[in-house]
Amino acid sequence: MAGLRRRSRHYLLILLAATPARGQERPAGAEVGIDASIGFLSTNAVPDVRGTSINAHGGWELRLGIAPELEFGFASFNSGPVDEGVSWFMAGARYSGEIGWFAFFAQAHAGYGHLTNYNIVRDDLAWDFAGGFLMRATNDVSFGPRFGTRYIDAFVPAGGSTLWYELGVSLQLTLRP
């Protein structure tokens, strides 16, 4: 299993290095987006826990396709015995590469997370990793599927931290001169 993860990281690095960045074709500019997803809570205690997740992000994409950005969002898991609310505000970066009318992106963020779970209310560390594929509808608007994972570490005993996986859609708006 470890060998498979190592190989997939190498394939991702080769893909990132071989793909021309979107910024090489267009000047630097602001980029904002909204992501809506179905979240799948990672828990062994209660199987098949799903919820909704939405976040907004924005930053300044540099000519090389890297965009330092801010992200905030909300998620809710309310499935049977699980009733959990999560919000986050993070800083990080997004890389976008483009091939014609198609593009891919990869992002990572870290920052503040707020977790409300049963009687636990915590403010702690949050992080996420996500990626996806986009198709340009116009020169300024792109959309496509996304997948990712988010984690809020409440640094408390079992039940206080949350990990979930997301599958959804991403809508990007690029504002350039």
pLDDT tens-digit profile of 88-125?
999 999 998 888 889 899 999 999 998 887 677 888 89
Q: Are 166 and 38 in contact (CB under 8 A)?
A: yes
Q: Are 36 and 72 in contact (CB under 8 A)?
A: no
More confident residue, 55 or 17: 55
The Cα 131–Cα 152 span in angstroms is 19
Q: What pLDDT, on the 0 to 100 scale, is given for residue 49?
A: 76
pTM of the model: 0.77
**Percent of the chain surpassing pLDDT 90:** 37
Q: Residues near 162 by Cβ (< 8 Å), separated by ≥ 6?
A: 41, 84, 86, 115, 117, 150, 151, 152, 154
Query: For the chain, what is the largest distance between any 2 Cα atoms, rounded to a whole number of angstroms?
Result: 51
Which residue is it, tokens 């996420």?
128
Q: pLDDT for 1-43, tens place per residue?
A: 455 445 555 544 454 454 444 445 567 889 899 999 988 877 6
Q: What pLDDT, on the 0 to 100 scale, is given for residue 124?
A: 86
Domains (range + CATH), the chain: 2-175 (2.40.160.20)
Q: What pLDDT, on the 0 to 100 scale, is given for residue 26?
A: 60
DSSP SS3 for 42: coil
